Amino acid sequence: MAALFLKRLTLQTVKSENSCVRCFGKHIVQKTAPAQSFPIASAPRLSFLIHAEAFSTVEDTQNEGKKKKKSQTAFGNIGRKISQRIVHLFDEKGNDMGNMHRADVIRLMDERDLRLVQRNASTEPAEYQLMTGMQILQERQRLREMKKASPKTGPTLTKELTFSSNIGQHDLDTKTKQIQQWIKKERQVRITIKKGKNVDVSENKMEEIFHQILQTMPGMATFLSRPQAVQGGKALMCVLRPLSKNEEKAYGETQKTQKRDTLNQDQGNDKESNVLHQ
């Protein structure tokens, strides 16, 4: 009897343990089932974000702006696309042809088989020049050499200076020294000379002041924009720029050649003088 009672007690204990295990397992499944649903629900949200990023136009707009800016600053033939009705034109030799209607400019291009480039868009009216294809290639090469020779990667800074045409010589010398300092620092200088009040000064007289300033800087500067009338003819304006390394080198060689020619001429004159004395 004792053995039979012990066997039944053992079987009852095993059944109770199995029932607890099943209940515990069911409880675990019920607790973990909702947690597994979160990744499934978040999948559409992730695909929506990726889809929105794929159609973003911010980067495309920035790239387009960079390409447009690069194309605007490139030097080259603009063809017949003249946005202004009246332009200030220079011929292929650099001669000033004055203000001209764009229709007449196009006619000259066809007659002479020339190209048209924009020299200065900041003036009123804008400056254009007729050029041959070879001149455009040479100018592009010169600009590339200037860019390589320049140690600075930032934009070229332009200084501005304005004074009256009846300026005194002492004040003019002071301003000329200031211009020289800017040129030495590789700055462009925009100079504007206004006609003095109650003073009748011709444009030729005002142009002489520009050339007088430029002559104080031989081998240092040249005209980026030659003197021209602005403000309805009440003033004249020009822009000076530093010479490039190649231009400085060419100027130095020219000076050496002139000195050598002068020395040879002086020696030749001395020989002729000796012959005459004999």
**Pair (228, 180) in one structural domain:** yes
Whole-number pLDDT of residue 31 = 47
**Number of domains forming the structure of the chain:** 2
Whole-number pLDDT of residue 263 = 81
Whole-number pLDDT of residue 12 = 65
Q: Is residue 208, in this structure, part of any structural domain at all?
A: yes
The C-alpha atoms of residue 163 and residue 193 are separated, in whole angstroms, by: 5
- The whole-model pTM stands at 0.43
Question: What are the respective helix, strand and coil percentages of the chain, to the nearest 5?
Answer: 60, 20, 20
Cβ–Cβ < 8 Å for 220, 255: no
Q: Which of 148, 234, 139, 223 is nearest to 192 (CA)?
A: 234
Whole-number pLDDT of residue 79 = 82
| pLDDT tens sequence for the chain (278 residues) | 556 665 676 666 555 555 554 544 555 445 444 444 444 444 444 444 334 334 344 444 455 555 444 444 467 888 888 888 999 999 888 888 899 998 999 999 899 889 998 888 888 888 999 999 898 888 888 888 877 766 555 566 899 999 999 899 999 999 999 999 999 999 999 999 998 876 677 888 889 999 999 999 999 999 999 999 998 888 999 999 999 988 988 888 888 888 888 888 777 666 666 655 55
Q: Residue 142's CB: how many other CB atoms inside 10 A?
A: 14
**Pair (175, 133) in one structural domain:** no
Q: Is residue 62, in this structure, part of any structural domain at all?
A: no
**Pair (232, 168) in one structural domain:** yes
Whole-number pLDDT of residue 73 = 47
**Pair (96, 125) in one structural domain:** yes
The C-alpha atoms of residue 122 and residue 170 are separated, in whole angstroms, by: 31
Domain boundary among 126, 149, 172: 149
Domain of 118, CATH number, reads 3.10.20.80
Packing angle, helices 245-277 and 133-149, rounded to 10: 100
Beta-sheet strand order (sheet of 188-194)? 158-164, 188-194, 235-242, 221-230
Whole-number pLDDT of residue 121 = 82
**Pair (100, 128) in one structural domain:** yes
Name the residue range of residue 92's domain.
Answer: 86-149
